[in-house]
Amino acid sequence: MRYFLIAGDPSGDQHGARLVTALREKDPHAEFVFFGGEWMQKTLRKAPVVSLEQLAFMGFTQLLSHLRQIRDNFRLARKTLRSFQPDAFILIDYAGFNLRMAKWAYYHGFKCFFYISPKVWAWRKNRSKLLKKYCEKVLCILPFEPDFLHSFKVNAVYTGNPVVEEITPWLHTDRNKILKDLELENRPMIALLPGSRDQEIRAALPIMAQMQPFYPEYQFVVAGHQRFPDDYYQRILHNTRIPVKRGVTQELLSVARAALVTSGTATLEVAWHQVPQVVCYRTYPLSYWIARWLIRVKYISLVNLIADKKVVTELIQKEFNAKRLRKTLADILHNEDTKQQIKEGYRIVKSRVGTHISSRQTARYIFESLSSG
């Protein structure tokens, strides 16, 4: 069978590569084309129709300045659908672009599968109607999403979360070997995960770094993103001599005693490693006000959202300051009751997420749907 995948950001590209591998297990003679990046390119050993660099635009200003490129991307997606005639059109996250493509594909007779559902439970609930009308099946990676989508009569299923596949190999590692390989000291570590976007890194990392003088018995290490060079982080750190290790987040979490984390998938990764964490987030006041007006959720971290209760402390906006962070970090490092409560919360999260390999479950649902006509 033929498959056309569109991923518009690095994480979607990575999920797409795993899905390609799982689809090949089900369908050894499968043919693929894709919009995406290096992960799918390496897996498929072929170039994308449109590369990630031509897709990953964020924010209103970037969208305005790249309108011509975005129009070209839509044109190329439509052209590829017509020429390749896929049996399955697989849309991976990237909701703004992909929902528009789902509509066009639906009216031209293509079967659409949406992998990693838009977060309609948080905002823009009206998108649920689009998912219902234009998508053969919506494949969700958060356990509470299908029930929400079912209320809109969307054909949605939970596939498991990609964090299971990504992190399981790191749960039984040799601590001493990792410290040696990463050229780190053999003493307790606090991992700093300031995110993968420039704005969130600049907002979070300086405050996180201020904790170092208060905990001299710990080594602080920044889990850097590969897209930013070392000197980028050092300029933000103002020569505090905190080492930056890029592209080795799982290795760092496998040996960390605690973590300071911006909101996002990273909070779930930290939970999987059983590391106590503080969730830290700050953005421009206007952006935050707009987000709070649009987004109706009790928590910002996936850990608390999945548990449906406070498992880890979230320091947001004005609450994210050095004084509050120091107090909260001391609590998760030294208060045994707090550590036990976090671990119990993590157990709830793990039980709800389950043990399914998301890429394999997704491939199975797509292949069975195609095979049944």
Question: How far is it, in rounded angstroms, from Cα 211 to Cα 191?
Answer: 11
CB atoms within 10 A of CB 127: 18
Task: At 92, give phi and psi (nearest 5°).
Answer: -110, 105
Residue with tokens 């496998």: 254
Give pLDDT, residue 59: 43
pLDDT for 61: 43
The residue behind tokens 């896929």 is 86
Q: Which residues of 95-111 are buried (b: 16+ CB within 10 A; e: fewer)?
A: bebbbebbebbbeeebb
The percent of residues in the chain predicted with pLDDT above 70, rounded, is 93
Residues 284 and 214 reside in one and the same domain? yes
- Specify the DSSP element, H or E, that contains 13: helix 10-26
Domain CATH number, residue 364 = 3.40.50.2000
Pair (84, 16) in one structural domain: yes
Q: Are residues 333 and 360 in the same domain?
A: no
**Residue 43 to residue 40: CA distance in whole angstroms:** 5
Average pLDDT of the chain to the nearest whole number: 91
Distance, in Å, from the CA atom of 251 to the CA atom of 221, rounded to the nearest integer, reads 12
Bridge partners (DSSP) of residue 29 are: none
Mean pLDDT for 20-45 is 96
**pLDDT at residue 294, rounded to an integer:** 53
Residue 66: pLDDT band (50, 70, 90) is: low
Whether residue 363 sits in one domain with residue 349:
no
207 and 104 share one domain: no
Q: Is the same domain home to 128 and 218? A: no
**Dist CA 120 CA 150 (whole Å):** 12
Name the domain count of the chain. 2
Count of beta carbons in the 10 Å neighbourhood of residue 297: 12
pLDDT in tens, 165-185: 999 888 888 889 999 999 999
**Structural domain for 295, as ranges:** 167-353
Position 346 scores a pLDDT of 98
The DSSP 8-state label assigned to residue 304 in this structure reads H
Q: How far apart are CA 220 and CA 355, in angstroms?
A: 31
Band the pLDDT of 58: cuts 50, 70, 90. Answer: very low
For the segment 134-156, what is each residue's pLDDT rounded down to a tens digit? 999 999 999 999 999 999 999 99
pLDDT of residue 56: 55
Q: With contact defined as beta carbons under 8 Å apart, do 316 and 144 qualify? A: no
Are 179 and 308 in the same domain?
Answer: yes
| Model confidence at 289: pLDDT above 90 | no
Of the candidates 34, 202, 4, 193, the one whose C-alpha atom is nearest the C-alpha of residue 113 is: 4
Longest pairwise C-alpha distance within the chain: 63
Residue 5: phi and psi, rounded to 5, are: -115, 140
Across 82-96, 222-236, 354-368, least confident range: 222-236
Least confidently predicted of 70-79, 199-208, 278-287:
278-287
- Which of the four pLDDT bands, split at 50, 70 and 90, describes residue 103? very high
Q: Which residue has the higher pLDDT, 58 or 351?
A: 351
Task: Say if residue 11 is in the same domain as residue 36.
Answer: yes
The alpha carbon dihedral of 287, 292, 295, 298 has a sign of positive
Average of per-residue pLDDT across 27-41: 95
pLDDT category, 62, cuts 50, 70, 90? Answer: very low
15 and 66 both lie in a single domain? yes
pLDDT at 63: 47
- Who contacts 138 (Cβ-Cβ below 8 Å, separation ≥6)? 113, 114, 117, 131, 149, 154, 155, 156, 157
User: What is the C-alpha to C-alpha distance for residues 251 and 256, in angstroms, rounded to an integer?
Assistant: 9
Q: Where are the alpha helices (DSSP H) in 182-283?
A: 198-209, 230-237, 249-253, 265-272
Q: Are residues 200 and 112 in the same domain?
A: no
Please state the length of the chain. Answer: 373
Please, which residues bridge with residue 89 across strands? 4, 112
337 and 230 in a single domain? The answer is yes
pLDDT band for position 220 (cuts 50, 70, 90): very high
pLDDT at site 286: 55
Which amino acid type is present at position 29?
H
Q: Does 142 lie in the same domain as 35?
A: yes
Q: What is the pLDDT of residue 69?
A: 76
| Residue 140: per-residue pLDDT | 98
Question: E strand or H helix at 262, and its extent?
Answer: strand 258-262
| Cβ–Cβ under 8 Å, residues 96 and 49 | no
